[in-house]
Structure 1
Amino acid sequence: MTDSAVAPAGHPDEPAGAWAPAPAQDLEQLAREAFVPGGVLSRAADAFRPRPGQTEMAAAVARTITAGGALVVEAGTGVGKTFSYLVPALLSGERVLLSTATKTLQDQLFARDLPRLAQALGLPVRMALLKGRGSYLCTHRLELARQDASLPDRSALRTLAKIEQWAQGTRTGDLAEMPGLDERSPVLPLVTSTRENCLGSQCPKFRTCHVNAARREAMAADVVVINHHLFFADLAVRESGMAELLPSVRVVVFDEAHQLNETGVQFLGRQLGTGQVLDFTRDLLGAGLQFARGLVDWQQIAGATERAARELRLVVGRTVPGARLRWVSAAPEGVSDVAWGEALAALETALQLAAEGLATVSEIAPDFVRLHERATLLAQRVRAFDQPAEAGAVRWLDVGTHLRLVESPLDIAEAVQQKLLKTGQDPENESARRAWIFTSATLGDDARLSWFTEPCGLGEAEVLRVASPFDYPTQAALYLPRDLPRPNDPGHSAAVARVAEAAARRIGGRTMVLTTTLRALRAIGEPLQARFDGSGEVEVLVQGQWPKRRLIERFREGAGEGRPGCLLVASASFWEGVDVPGDALQLVIIDKLPFPPPGDPLVEARGQRLESQGRSPFNDYFVPEAAVALKQGAGRLIRRESDRGLLVVCDTRLAQMGYGRRLLAALPPMRRLQDEAQFEEALDQLAPE
């Protein structure tokens, strides 16, 4: 990562859009020429080799940039899709917005791929990296945190001291640049801002604000790298500065587009968390005691609001951590309508009283003006959740240490059609000429990629599928154990652990176990750690015990320097975006077919909508969802042409049920191992000498 939010290539002083765009009729040809042997790509990419699929995708992107419209590309692992869209985008001379699902890819594009390619192409491109405000240090809140008496422990105090020291030298304020900072640290919310607590132009640190600096640099850049969360946050609330940026952009690329729908629905509805309310009370008390001690009974106001938030949580009672409760009537499922209504009313009243108290001191400090706005907004959200949900939306309650009240559209189709593609509007206007590129390694299991295009409102888009160049029958094999318990049997996770233990011993670690639930994660990970503890054979890593970044770094290191190879047991986000090429990972074990959880309110609502349309929720939703997720998990195995490995799916339904053929067809074309003897032989071929 560079230490700058803008990475100039060529002539850094050139203004945005300063280089001449390629003539429209020549862009496709220029893009094709970049990928020929000895072309510019050979100077930009290590060990570059021409791939017909990569060139095909680049040509399609070039045509879409020239004509405008939407292009959806599923580019299999190894195609090199990043350069396939970057080359024509840069050669076009147009202003470009690149959006990714993860900050990891965001940083990689900005710090490595873009500068390298712009230099190879000889283009004076100004680039900017723009993240959400939670990624940047807020120097005003850092000052407030120094005086915060509620810091949890000495570890938090040490982290705060390190951040203060780092703050003296950073130019961008991007916390990802700070070495050794745990992304789970409880200090981070204290030193970053949110849309709710940012003071805006009234902040005493406004002129040196890192968020504003990043936005200014984005406005001056030719290519801006953002993430999907930031894009949809702005689409929903126009908070990030994108409202000014997007109209000047002609080319928009969504990489890792398979996450677009699920990211979008988070922002296009409404949410209220009791954690938000508690954050507000902490900020209220801190600002009140610092700037207006004695003028208002801050302890009483903050205490009353905090109690109301905690009472709302208590009304729900004990439930499974991480549960989602259906909410189709006055109160969530299993919660008393009367008690819930009274608790919501009490919280609204407490927030209104807080707003009244803040109004009396609003002229003393800008902090009070913002706090008053936050109290009013939170009260409005409470009131909205006391009313029926909007038509076409689904409402539910996320239950954990705190509550999260959620109302969400079922997909982003309407938002994409109306706000992005502007379907039905004048075809001559600027938005109709904009080029929209959506790409990922996994976007569906049918020719139209309907798993992605339907919920994203892209039914009329051009669709291209580019196969992976990897020789899967030679590089990889698939094994389906036949004698395992059924997936829902109590002994299933223990059986998966035994398979993983025996295989990992045989090949010296180099194994990743992907689970479909956190319960299975613990049921498989904990016994494996107990069995290998102190043996020195294999180091067992379990998601949640270390930060994700540290887990992946250790796993990639593998065996060496007196350390054993690793067995990683993980769930959720580890199914995708984890890149471990080479010998460190040669065995991926998937515990169950990754069907959506049937009791999830959003899943239920989507199924009910399909039923009302006369369609099959299982065939048209559950199976495609499982196919895409299974393909994502399997994609962790082979990352380079030289990789070799085995995929084990510990779910007998894949071989026994009719839909298993469809799921198998979604996987890369690996050779099949027929029995345990063949599996053990394949393991022995991978075992270190």
Structure 2
Amino acid sequence: MTLTDAVRRAFAADGALPRAADSFRPRAAQTEMALAVARTIEEGGALVVEAGTGVGKTFSYLVPALLSGDRVLLSTATKTLQDQLFGRDLPRLVEALGLPVRTALLKGRGSYLCLHRMELARRDPGAGDRGIAAALARVEQWAQATRSGDLAELPGLDERSPVIPLVTSTRDNCLGAQCPKFRECHVNRARREALAADVVVVNHHLFFADLAVRESGMAELLPTVRVAVFDEAHQLNETGVQFLGAQLGTGQLLDFTRDLLAAGLQLARGLAPWHEVAAALDRAARELRLVVGRSTAGSRLRWTGAAPEGVPQHAWQDALADVEVACEDAMEALATVSEIAPDFVRLHERAATLAQRSGRFLAEAAPDAVRWVDVGQQLRLVESPLDIAQAVRTKLLKADPPTAKGTDDEPGREPVEQGGRAWIFTSATLGDDARLRWFTEPCGLDDAEVLKVGSPFDYPAQAALYLPRDLPKPNDPGHSPAVARLAAQAAQGLGGRTMVLTTTLRALRGIGEELQRRFQGSMELEVLVQGQWPKRRLIERFREGAGPGRPGCLLVASASFWEGVDVPGDALELVVIDKLPFPPPGDPLVEARSQRLQSQGRNPFNDYFVPEAAVALKQGAGRLIRSETDRGVLVVCDTRLAQMGYGRRLLAAMPPMRRLSSPEEFEEALEALGAARTSAAAA
């Protein structure tokens, strides 16, 4: 039996999948995608699939991948999706299909407890804080029982907790094989298990970090994999460019300074002028920050010449040269004590890397790269490629795989033949044209097979779209207050159940503050604003909705809430989008991409800005309908969608919701949602 036949049988009404999900029923779109994945695995090559919300794409790629018997790498967008895939979807299918498959989860080192750094944490000056000390005690207690060391397993640990940097390692401060806890190391155990497994679940950040530095275990893992699947693939390009360039941060320099001083005074006091070396590093980092001045926090400064825009050239060059000299002086001091402890060897390597990067940023930028400076309390100097196309073509699709290395516990597996490897890329949103060029061009997948399968949801019956025509223009100061009034009135009628998605942090603050003022002290609605609580807690509270003694919720959010947020059922019935999500035209990376298109004789607005907005708008709209029983209304508070010619293209990219043409129809639709909810509760 061929793989295609086995997959078709698994997706039949009397196949194996009903045992994996009680709610499973055959869907033509899901089966079509699964068969395309199966053919690609059989023949090799690259397949790009846009699968609409509700298709069930996870089963569509997992079933053929598991039935193939090949070694599989699965990469997702976030650690949360990794945990869901590894902890829920994979075990269900492995059991339902009756396969003897070994699975493993592999994250970046920052996700795992570092036993060596946990021991050192008690001596850290920050550990004297009562809150940090209490969190550290919880980590130490949990450390006695955990097998994986994955901090996601520790209940109640806030992802923003200041104790996390104290008990995890980075590539910079990890001691590697010289670490006294090397044998018990959770990171190394996770890598060994990944090398021994048949199916390995990673995330895009880890994948590209390793592609850039060959340090996270993928260099050994990838050559032995025949099937690689990238879910939520729409994030690949933006994730990849973060790792395929170069970065240097003043925060990174200050962290190194702190580690150098601590190690020097603890392990080699009096053997080198540690205070002087650390003071020079600290001064150089702070002077570099001061040269930039009081630029708006969160802004990006263009950097097309010898210095960033608005920064004095000579002062900038001198400050950057001082950083390089301070790093070289640190290297000299560390070289004199390198034999005393492995900590000094690693610190010397860090100093060399920082010196090299300083020198790189003193020189001209690489061709086909863009530079900028991210400004906050610290500075981050960035040089980035414009996309990942060349890296995908040369390092993935056409590169000869190196020989796989073995470990103490698992002999090396033979690398697969590159020509037979299958690459699967899938997401609910990959473009607004038939060839999905928004995704395939920057990812170097122009020759890949492309498939689009539509959502099974009945959008005209389940959802409505309202475009208010009497709102101020998007750049008008009165726009955000008007959006807040509309959202407040609608949310009052629904008893909450409303999510407002903004395109900028300024709008997030303006709309959020206005709504919180409006409902302050009221038990009618609770206004949740991104940034005021951890994301996980915000989503959990929003899903809870109204209850005894608890008001309904109105959530105002930006950025990361436009995608990956799943609130099925009647906890979410209204999504309000403040403006069309065009890329910020003043962003240096956006400018560089636009200039490249112009140099090719193409129109940046039509070929870049509109497709970017179409994909982002589709992602935001996708928060509304998450199951076949959901009902809701989407409001886009941007008059350009109805008035400008490109609005038709953006509307065509969105789910085919029925249109509401007046405020009266909008009110009627909201009332209908409430009536349907009441009727369902009575039944």
**1:170-189 matched pairs, under 5 angstroms:** 170-189=146-165
Q: Equivalent residue of 1:589, what SS?
A: strand
Map of 2:390 onto structure 1? 414
Q: Equivalent residue of 1:106, what SS?
A: helix
2:173 corresponds to 1:197: yes
2:112 counterpart (127, 131, 136): 136
1:525 counterpart (504, 507, 512): 512
After superposing on structure 2, the runs of 4+ consecutive aligned residues of structure 1 that deviate more than 6 Å are none
Q: Equivalent residue of 1:208, what SS?
A: coil
Map of 2:342 onto structure 1? 366
| TM-score calculated relative to the size of structure 2 | 0.96
**1:373-384 matched pairs, under 5 angstroms:** 373-384=349-360
CA distance in 1, matches of 2:416, 2:447: 19
For residues 219-277 of structure 1, give each alpha carbon's deviation from its aligned partner in whole angstroms, at most 9, with x where no partner exists.
00000000001111111110111111111100000000000000001111111111111
**1:242-641 matched pairs, under 5 angstroms:** 242-422=218-398, 430-641=417-628
Q: Equivalent residue of 1:295, what SS?
A: coil
Map of 1:119 onto structure 2? 95
Counterpart residue type for residue 384 of structure 2: S
CA distance in 1, matches of 2:492, 2:7: 48
1:562 CA drift (Å)? 2.3
Map of 2:642 onto structure 1? 655
Q: Is the Cα contact below 8 Å between 2:498 and 2:576 reproduced in 1?
A: yes
2:11 corresponds to 1:32: no
2:653 corresponds to 1:677: no
CA distance in 2, matches of 1:176, 1:650: 38
152 and 493 in structure 1: CA distance in 2 versus 1, 3 angstrom threshold: farther
CA distance in 2, matches of 1:557, 1:355: 54
Of 225-234 and 295-304, more deviation after overlay is shown by 295-304
CA distance in 1, matches of 2:156, 2:333: 41
CA distance in 2, matches of 1:339, 1:207: 48
Q: Equivalent residue of 1:646, what SS?
A: strand
Counterpart residue type for residue 456 of structure 2: P
Counterpart residue type for residue 472 of structure 1: Y
For residues 306-346 of structure 1, give each alpha carbon's deviation from its aligned partner in whole angstroms, at most 9, with x where no partner exists.
11101100100001111111100000000000000110111
Q: Is the Cα contact below 8 Å between 2:33 and 2:57 reproduced in 1?
A: yes
Uncovered stretches (5+) of structure 2, i.e. residues with no partner: 402-414, 679-683
For residues 147-171 of structure 1, give each alpha carbon's deviation from its aligned partner in whole angstroms, at most 9, with x where no partner exists.
0114483222222222122112111
1:46 CA drift (Å)? 2.9
CA distance in 2, matches of 1:671, 1:142: 56
For residues 115-174 of structure 1, give each alpha carbon's deviation from its aligned partner in whole angstroms, at most 9, with x where no partner exists.
110000000110000000111111111111110114483222222222122112111110
1:211 counterpart (187, 198, 216): 187
CA distance in 1, matches of 2:244, 2:455: 34
**Sequence identity, in percent?**
78
1:51 CA drift (Å)? 0.6
Q: RMSD of the TM alignment (CA)?
A: 1.3
For residues 335-375 of structure 1, give each alpha carbon's deviation from its aligned partner in whole angstroms, at most 9, with x where no partner exists.
00000011011111111111111111111111011001101
Q: Is the Cα contact below 8 Å between 2:226 and 2:416 reproduced in 1?
A: no
How many pairs were matched up? Answer: 663
Counterpart residue type for residue 44 of structure 1: A
Counterpart residue type for residue 304 of structure 1: A
Of 349-358 and 538-547, more deviation after overlay is shown by 349-358
CA distance in 2, matches of 1:393, 1:542: 36
Q: Equivalent residue of 1:606, what SS?
A: helix
Map of 1:13 onto structure 2? none
CA distance in 2, matches of 1:390, 1:138: 36
661 and 152 in structure 1: CA distance in 2 versus 1, 3 angstrom threshold: farther
1:629 CA drift (Å)? 0.1
Q: Equivalent residue of 2:300, what SS?
A: strand
For residues 363-397 of structure 1, give each alpha carbon's deviation from its aligned partner in whole angstroms, at most 9, with x where no partner exists.
11110110011011101100100000011111111
**1:147-162 matched pairs, under 5 angstroms:** 147-151=123-127, 153-162=129-138
Counterpart residue type for residue 649 of structure 1: V
CA distance in 2, matches of 1:633, 1:278: 38
Counterpart residue type for residue 131 of structure 1: K
Counterpart residue type for residue 232 of structure 2: E
Counterpart residue type for residue 477 of structure 1: A
CA distance in 2, matches of 1:79, 1:409: 34
Counterpart residue type for residue 400 of structure 1: G
Counterpart residue type for residue 265 of structure 1: V
CA distance in 2, matches of 1:50, 1:447: 26
For residues 557-610 of structure 1, give each alpha carbon's deviation from its aligned partner in whole angstroms, at most 9, with x where no partner exists.
111232121111000010000000001101000000000000000000000000
Map of 1:43 onto structure 2? 19
Q: Equivalent residue of 2:171, what SS?
A: coil
Counterpart residue type for residue 577 of structure 1: G
2:31 counterpart (47, 52, 55): 55
2:63 counterpart (79, 83, 87): 87
Q: Is the Cα contact below 8 Å between 2:223 and 2:416 reproduced in 1?
A: no
CA distance in 1, matches of 2:400, 2:260: 47
1:297 CA drift (Å)? 2.6
1:424 CA drift (Å)? 11
1:191 CA drift (Å)? 1.4
Of 524-533 and 78-87, more deviation after overlay is shown by 524-533
CA distance in 2, matches of 1:148, 1:535: 44
1:676 CA drift (Å)? 0.2
Counterpart residue type for residue 617 of structure 1: P
Q: Equivalent residue of 2:223, what SS?
A: helix
CA distance in 2, matches of 1:423, 1:232: 15
Of 561-570 and 261-270, more deviation after overlay is shown by 561-570
CA distance in 2, matches of 1:424, 1:238: 15
Map of 2:407 onto structure 1? none
CA distance in 1, matches of 2:581, 2:112: 35
CA distance in 2, matches of 1:473, 1:177: 41
CA distance in 1, matches of 2:218, 2:622: 33
| TM-score calculated relative to the size of structure 1 | 0.95
Q: Is the Cα contact below 8 Å between 2:52 and 2:455 reproduced in 1?
A: yes
Q: Equivalent residue of 1:679, what SS?
A: helix
397 and 121 in structure 1: CA distance in 2 versus 1, 3 angstrom threshold: same
CA distance in 2, matches of 1:486, 1:154: 50
CA distance in 2, matches of 1:232, 1:424: 18
Q: Is the Cα contact below 8 Å between 2:400 and 2:418 reproduced in 1?
A: no
Q: Is the Cα contact below 8 Å between 2:225 and 2:416 reproduced in 1?
A: no
CA distance in 2, matches of 1:309, 1:479: 51
CA distance in 2, matches of 1:90, 1:278: 47
For residues 73-128 of structure 1, give each alpha carbon's deviation from its aligned partner in whole angstroms, at most 9, with x where no partner exists.
00000000000000000000000000001111100010000011000000011000
